[in-house]
Each structure stands twice: as structure tokens, then as C-alpha cells.
Amino acid sequence: MRTARLRPNRKEGSYLHLYQRACGFRSDRIFGDVERQFMLNLIGKVSALYTLEIIAVTAMSNHVHIVAFVPGEPPTPEETCRRYNAFYAGMKPELIVNSPDLARIQKRLGDFSVFMGHWQQSFTCWFNRTRKEQRRGRLWGDRFKHTILEGREALWTCVQYVEMNPVRAGICEQPDDYRFCSWGIRCGSGKHPYARNFLHHLRRSLGDRAGDWAMPDLEAEFRSDLARKLTAERGESSEEIAAASDLARAKVPVTLQLTRRARYWTDGAVIGSRQFVMEITAEALGAERAKKRRYGRGLIADGTALFSMRQLRTVAPGSDQDLG
């Protein structure tokens, strides 16, 4: 029996890491270049119908990562009609504000589970239809996983984790060189596919430090922080850390190899400060159980502690299994 999803319930909205893997063994590589490109295009197209705001996406050969902001309130009737009519123009009857279906559609457009089901079903139909020997049946494994992120260090670090997936897999030395992730698309084309969301939400995650930064300022900080965390993880000197950070900020190529395979980002359920994780846990399980629960704890490279709702296993701070 499936357990109920832990759903964010905050008026100000929530940040999520969404993860889905295809059927088969972990070593199976079923998505080639054509499939990954189609997947990225489809996710972008379908997201225009829904209110969630994508910040980062990485399509791999057998799985996909999405980091997104989900508003806490459903779209207004007017916004629902605008999105629905633009997406289904010429395919379905026009939706109007006094339509009896409006409330149902309005709720669905704000639901991240409906969004995931929509693009996965569309991708599966296309994938099965375009095989040489037409394929049938399911493509994806179990239901997708999602982790609730606090919109501060956890969000910033998770976006880096997602963009660095191809580097950890040994596909490339830098995410700049991988054209099936949002950061690689930005570096290759000069334009981030979700530039507005990337700037707004990551700048907000940095708080006062970001001030009124423009996109170039934020991108420089993003590159620099990746290099800084990497060299710190390697145990290099403070001078080497500073040099790598400066080189990255100046757009000088730096080999970035985040070797950690952090299950917390897919299985941790909730990630953020201890207070944030306890608040979400209390909403789901009750205050008493939240107080008694043992939480996972890990460190990122600068020594900041992040906590997770699920304690997956005991991890030594600074080891290659912590939250970085």
C-alpha cells in the first residue's frame, strides 16, 4: 500500500526537488540525445500550463531532476483561463470564467503531481510510438519522488546538486559542457531556459547578500560557489580555495567534480534548517511526533548544517555521503 505524499501546505509557496527514474536497472541507459532533448522541450512546454515555476532541470540517460517553486495558492479564475486557452488553443473548447469545469481545472493547474503525470504520460506515448518496433507498457519506475526544500541554503545547494549530475556521472568535466541541463543550455546558448525563475528564486535564497543583483552577478556567484565548495571538499588550502573561486567567477574553466551521491536530495522528504524541517514534520505528523523524531543531519562545504526529515543512515560530517 502506498503511503500518502507529504504535501507542502504553505501560503507563501514551497520549493521542491522532483525526481523520476525509468524502469529497469540503474545501469540501463535508455534515453539518448534525441530522447533527452525531447524531454527537456516537453517539460518546458507543459510547465507553461501549470503555475509551478521551474528553476533547474537535468535530463540524464535514465532519470530526470527538476527543482521548482510551487505557489501556495491556486491560480485565479482569469489566470486559469489564460493558461488553459493558450495551451489547448485549437484543440479544446475555450474555457471561460463561469464554466462548470473551472474549479476542477483551477485546482489541477496548481498541483505538482498532475504536472508530473502530464509530461510523463506525454513522453511515454511519444517514446513508445517512435521506437523501431513500437513499444507498449510503462516506461517509468515507481511514482516520482519529491523533497521539500527550505528556500535558503537548501534550495541553492540542491540546484547545484542537480546541475552537477552529469559531472558526478563522469559524462563531462563541467556542467557547462552538458547540453541536457539548464545550466549547460545557458552556457551553450547564452540564455538560461528559466532565466526569470533562476534569478528571482536563487537571488531570494541568498537574502540581503544578493541585494538587487542582475543575472550576470548571480551567475558569477553560482559558478564561484561551485568551485569554492569543490576545493573545500578536497581538503585543499584556503589559498587554493580562494584561487579556484576567483577563477570560476572570472569564467576561467575549472574542473568541477562533485563526487557525492547524496540520497538525501531524493529520499530526505524535507531538507532545510532544523526549525524548518520540524515545522513541516509537525504539519504532517503532529507536534509531539515531530519533537520526538530523530532527524538526518549533514554538512555542506562551508560548514553550514542542513537537516532532513528522514534519517537515512548515520553519516560522518564531511564524508562523501553528507548533504553537500
Q: What is the DSSP string of 48-84?
A: TTSS-EEEEEEE-SSEEEEEEEE-SSPPPHHHHHHHH
Q: What is the mean pLDDT of the chain?
A: 82
> What is the number of structural domains in the chain?
3
Give the model's pLDDT for residue 38.
Answer: 96
User: What does pTM read for this prediction?
Assistant: 0.80
Per the domain annotation, does 81 fall within a domain? Answer: yes
> Do residue 128 and residue 220 come from a single domain?
no
Q: Are 58 and 181 in contact (CB under 8 A)?
A: yes
> Do residue 169 and residue 223 come from a single domain?
no
> Do residue 99 and residue 231 come from a single domain?
no
Task: Copy the grid coordinates of residue 244.
Answer: 579556484
Per the domain annotation, does 250 fall within a domain? Answer: yes
Task: Name the more confident of 100 and 298.
Answer: 100
User: pLDDT tens across 18-61, in order?
Assistant: 999 998 766 778 899 999 999 999 999 999 999 999 999 999 99
pLDDT band at 294 (very low <50, low <70, confident <90, very high): confident
Per the domain annotation, does 305 fall within a domain? Answer: no
> Do residue 194 and residue 218 come from a single domain?
no
> Do residue 187 and residue 99 come from a single domain?
no
> Do residue 23 and residue 146 come from a single domain?
yes
Q: Give the range of the structural domain holding residue 193, as residue numbers without chain letter.
A: 14-74+110-213
Q: Which has the closest alpha carbon to 232: 279, 298, 299?
A: 299
> Do residue 143 and residue 241 come from a single domain?
no
CATH number at residue 188: 3.30.70.1290
> Do residue 126 and residue 189 come from a single domain?
yes
Residues listed for the chain: 324
User: pLDDT tens across 219-263, in order?
Assistant: 989 988 877 776 776 677 888 878 877 777 776 544 433 334 455
Percent of the chain with pLDDT over 90: 42
Task: Copy the grid coordinates of residue 120.
Answer: 510523463
Per the domain annotation, does 310 fall within a domain? Answer: no
Q: How far apart are CA 261 and CA 271, in angstroms?
A: 16
